[in-house]
Amino acid sequence: MRHLIRNIIVETPSKPGNLGLVTSAIGAAEGDIGDIKTIKSGPLSTVRDISVTCKDEVHLQQVVQNIETIGNGISIHAVTDDVLKAHEGGKIAMKSTLDVRSLGDLQRVYTPGVASVCLEIEKDPEQAKYFTSIGKSVAIVTDGTAILGLGNIGSVAGMPVMEGKAVLLDHFVGLSGIPILLDTSDPDEVVETIKHIYQGFGAILLEDIGSPHCFEIEERLKAELPIPVMHDDQHGTAVVTLAAVLNACKATGVDPTKAVVGQIGLGAAGLAIVRMLLAYGVKDVFGIDRQPDAMERLHKYGGKSKDSLEDMMAECDIIIATTGVEGLIKPEMVREGQIILALSNPNPEILPTEAIKAGAAFAADGRSVNNVVGFPGIFRGALDAEAKEITYPMLIAAAEAIVNHTRKGELIPTPLDPALHLVVSRAVEEAATLEKKNV
Ligand SMILES: NC(=O)C1=CN([C@@H]2O[C@H](COP(=O)(O)OP(=O)(O)OC[C@H]3O[C@@H](n4cnc5c(N)ncnc54)[C@H](O)[C@@H]3O)[C@@H](O)[C@H]2O)C=CC1
Ligand SMILES: CC(=O)C(=O)O
Ligand SMILES: [Mg+2]
């Protein structure tokens, strides 16, 4: 486990070199340093807030002890849990876009004025696109069965992830994400429930719904609803992974269609990655999963199998892993020059630093190769084009837009760049519009 993030508030005498002593002490204990914020900078002392990721509480204590033994007047004021603090009261809220200060405002926003808008929409339901927020709202639906790699922890425990997705939709592309927490995983009940509520949304984002029931749920909803439906763990992840694979191939001079790719774990994310790579034209895509029915699905879509994880690691140029199993890939399994994308969250199958040390040419984990690079722009583009569904040409257009937006030396662009989501949404909108014209 490596997802204990804590903030250590450290005071050092204001003298060059002291921050270096602190970061070296953290590094010596193998703490992973994130943001460093200066809270107070005075002539005598400086106080900084240093975010550190540790494996667990024992590891955190080692980091703290290393700092405390530096001496030189360096001291720790507090160790805080900023992640928990950020979740106090939740991360989202439904807010109005209008102010209500006068009686006139009240009558425009609510009764009696609102009645005339209702009647306009009753006469012509298409008007709902212009006079309500429906076209900008995305239902984020989970049944809680595959929350990250944490397993079936239930929808309510998964709510922080759903709120997180809503924050990203709002922040990156101005869409409202509304979590819907289901208490059933039965495909008939899930489909029936969504069919009864879909009309309040422009699109449906399925999230952290485990396999294999996620496949039937998505297929049926896509067929039965007139609005875009996408299971992000499947197709959002596949888009971003395709982009990372294309970028890695470009950097290593490999023709992606001729690369030999091995996918470990053929659940929601893994099977969709296989399908996406095959749709793109990669010929040799191998897969492995501990479930026989997952292997059957691999073969149905044209993927090939390997006998063991060891064979897969020995024979493939590019390895992608989405099993949810931390540390599944051992450093001794890594082949010289291999490309390793260990995408499980919160902890990867192998840390990128370990994979590189073991000889990999490129290595990344689920923090950077993450569906957040793709899903905001995919949904925005589909809604802007008024698309009825999200298709493979739209997804491949998204992957190519990500590739074109990647700077030299990067495997995948940062999702913090607002221009990224704009180019992805434009590419998806254009692909959707082209498809409509060709129908
Ligand atoms: N980086 C990203 O953007 C994303 C990462 N993920 C991560 O991928 C992982 C899996 O997510 P889902 O596909 O939604 O879950 P899932 O439960 O649908 O799939 C997991 C699959 O891995 C297989 N598996 C487990 N242990 C295995 C082993 N030792 N060898 C071979 N196969 C094994 C399971 O049988 C199952 O088919 C999670 O940790 C999740 O956080 C998922 C979506 C996006
Ligand atoms: C990123 C994501 O969707 C997951 O790990 O499940
Ligand atoms: Mg997910």
Q: Could you report the per-residue pLDDT of 175-223, keeping only the tens digit for each?
A: 999 999 999 999 999 999 999 999 999 999 999 999 999 999 999 999 9
Is any atom of ligand 1 closer than 6 Å to the C-beta of 313?
A: no
Is any atom of ligand 1 closer than 6 Å to the C-beta of 149?
A: yes
Residue 15 CB neighbours (<10 A): 13
Is any atom of ligand 1 closer than 6 Å to the C-beta of 146?
A: yes
pLDDT value at 400 more than 70? yes
Is any atom of ligand 2 closer than 6 Å to the C-beta of 45?
A: no
Distance (Å) from CA 48 to ligand 2 centroid: 31
Segment 326-336 mean pLDDT: 96
Rounded (5°) CA angle 250-255-258: 145
Using CA atoms, how far residue 327 sits from 155, 340, 346, 411, 427, in Å, is 26, 13, 12, 22, 36
Q: Could you report the per-residue pLDDT of 64-113, keeping only the tens digit for each?
A: 999 999 998 999 999 999 999 999 999 999 999 999 999 999 999 999 99
Distance (Å) from CA 210 to ligand 1 centroid: 9
pLDDT value at 128 more than 80? yes
pLDDT at 433: 96
pLDDT value at 1 more than 90? no
pLDDT value at 436 more than 90? no
Which residue numbers are catalytic? 110, 165
Distance (Å) from CA 222 to ligand 1 centroid: 23
Distance between CA atoms of 151 and 259, rounded to whole angstroms?
32
Is any atom of ligand 1 closer than 6 Å to the C-beta of 425?
A: no
Which phi and psi angles does 185 have, rounded to 5°? -120, 0
Residue 372 CA, closest ligand 2 atom number? 1
**Scanning the structure block, which residue is given the tokens 């008939």?**
188
Q: Which ligand is nearest to the CA of 268?
A: 1
Listed in order, strand segments (DSSP E) in 71-117 are: 75-80
pLDDT at 438: 81
pLDDT at 121: 98
pLDDT band at 2 (very low <50, low <70, confident <90, very high): low
SS3 content of the chain, % helix, strand, coil (to 5): 50, 20, 35
pLDDT band at 330 (very low <50, low <70, confident <90, very high): very high
- Complex ipTM: 0.98
Q: Could you report the per-residue pLDDT of 146-159, keeping only the tens digit for each?
A: 999 999 999 999 99
pTM above 0.90, yes or no: yes
pLDDT value at 252 more than 70? yes
Q: Percent of the chain, pLDDT > 70?
A: 100
Which residues hold their Cβ within 5 A of ligand 3, which is an ion?
Answer: 208, 233
Distance (Å) from CA 289 to ligand 1 centroid: 10
